[in-house]
Amino acid sequence: MQDQINDEKSIISNVKVALPTVSEYIRNNSNKSNCGTFSLNNDNDRSTCPNSNWMFNRSDIWLTLSPDSSISFAVFRAGDIGGCGVYSNGGSVNSAQYGIRPVVTLSSDIQITGGDGSSSNPYQLSL
């Protein structure tokens, strides 16, 4: 996981909205013992890991911000191909067949003061 995080640090960005990285995807899995690293995620990707990661969505495939060093024009993908969580090879950054899911970076001073995150009851934030 540390190697993945170090690779991601080479991506320089000052924006507040971006695509999630592979390490962010993996760190959002509640089952750390079976899915808490890239290799564990891949070993358990068809059963345990998709079911314990709130970012996983069976209905689509989306691109991450993390480059895939095996193909110069590719990034890692997340989503459902046979029940996988996050995987490499073929996530072309210029491909219209994959979606994107931007994330917003908030200051650590921001607190969730209400809501449940649904469309009918969105989170309420305050400083």
**pTM reported for the whole predicted model:** 0.65
pLDDT of residue 43: 78
pLDDT of residue 14: 67
Q: Where are the beta strands (DSSP E) in the chain?
A: 17-18, 61-67, 75-79, 86-87, 103-104, 111-114, 124-126
- Write down the domain spans for the chain: 2-126
User: CA 32 to CA 59: how far, in whole Å?
Assistant: 24
Residue numbers in the chain where pLDDT is lower than 50: none
pLDDT of residue 104: 78
Q: Give residues with Cβ within 8 angstroms of 92, minimum separation 6.
A: 71, 73, 74, 98
